[in-house]
Amino acid sequence: MNTVSTKTIVITGASRGIGAAAARKFAEAGAHVVLAARSKARIDAIAQEITAAGGAATALRCDVSQATDVEHLINAAVAETGAIDVLINNAGLIDPISRLSESDPEAWGQIVDVNLKGVYHGLRYAIPQMVRAGAGTIINISSGAATGALEGWSHYCATKAAVLSLTRVAHKEYAEKGVRVVGLSPGTVATEMQVAIRASGINPVSQLDPEAHIPPEWVAKALIWLCSKDADPHLGTDFSIKTDAGRAAVGLAPLG
């Protein structure tokens, strides 16, 4: 059963990687996708591609680290489509990768602004709209870094752990009001982020064969599944597609 047809799906970090793949997949499933990113030119191009193929898409520039930008994004999506049914908090950064004693405090703080505060801003402004509607789904892109320590990734591990806590708190506060909140831990994905990770050479993830990374389209498929009632047992947690059970639930091939 298609649970996203005619729904409004807002996706942050939609200019490339997981966000761009998700926008295309949700549009193919009949949703109106609202692409958000700092790069307006990129999301304009993807939105035009989607509409040329018969889909519905809107591109809105948004810097998730800025609360006013996210507030405008959510309000504009509702004004145009009448609702916000799903928010995918996907925008995230990992570069620059460095050990703690060598890290730049300003750059470290910028990662917090995007990876953590960006998710908070999405929750802050989407939840009231969803509570008023009596329904809605928020998916926070997570990582194994939320519960594991990786050398050189202090900023990424810390922010992803904090996002997992936000997922748990939001579920506790708003599940009874119809708002579904869940995290998705996809494993390593073939995106531009992996280029920076590989170039750092700091921890085992940087040494992985590029063939080990899954395509972003697999993540997009998991995101659509998380919008369904079948995913309800995972609400308030991080759902993983790094296991055979997780992949089977989504309809992906088992681990090799």
Res 207: pLDDT? 64
> Domains in the chain, please, with CATH?
8-249 (3.40.50.720)
Question: Are 179 and 136 within 8 A, CB to CB?
Answer: yes
Comparing 190 with 58, the larger pLDDT belongs to 58
Cα gap 14→35, rounded to integer Å: 5
Question: What is the Cα–Cα distance from 71 to 28, expressed in whole angstroms?
Answer: 27
CA dihedral 80→53→241→179, nearest 10 degrees, is: 20
The one catalytic residue in 120, 125, 156, 174 is 156
Contact 136, 130 (CB under 8 A): yes
Are the beta carbons of 43 and 82 closer than 8 angstroms? no
Distance CA 45, CA 58 (A): 11
What is the Cα–Cα distance from 25 to 45, expressed in whole angstroms? 16
% of the chain surpassing 70 pLDDT: 93
pTM for the structure as a whole: 0.93
Long-range contacts of 76-84 (CB under 8 A, 24+ apart): 76/34, 77/8, 77/10, 77/34, 78/8, 78/129, 80/34, 81/8, 81/32, 81/34, 82/8, 83/7, 83/8, 83/129, 83/133, 84/8, 84/10, 84/126, 84/129, 84/130, 84/136
Between CA 154 and CA 157 the distance in angstroms is 5
- Cα–Cα distance, 45 to 120 (Å, whole number): 28
Mean per-residue pLDDT for 24-44? 97
How is residue 120 written in tokens?
């908070």
Burial degree of 232 (CB within 10 A; 0-12, 13-18, 19+) = exposed
* Predicted confidence (pLDDT) per residue in 115-171, tens digit: 999 999 999 999 999 999 999 999 999 998 899 998 898 999 999 999 999 999 999
Q: Report the alpha-carbon distance of residue 93 to residue 12 in Å, rounded.
A: 12
Name the least confident of 58-72, 81-95, 188-202: 188-202
Cα→Cα distances 255→143, 205, 213, 241, Å: 18, 17, 12, 10
**What are the two backbone dihedrals, phi and then psi, of residue 200, each rounded to the nearest 5 degrees?**
-70, -35
Q: What's the CA gap between 36 and 10, in Å, rounded? A: 7
| pLDDT at residue number 188 | 66
Burial of 110 (0-12, 13-18, 19+ CB in 10 A): middle
**What does pLDDT average to over the chain?**
93
For residue 94, the model assigns a pLDDT of: 86
CB atoms within 10 A of CB 18: 28
The residues with which 61 forms a beta bridge, in sequence order, are 37
Q: Check if 125 is active-site.
A: no
pLDDT digits (tens, 9 = 90+) for 180-236: 999 999 876 666 677 677 777 777 676 666 666 778 899 999 999 999 999 999 999
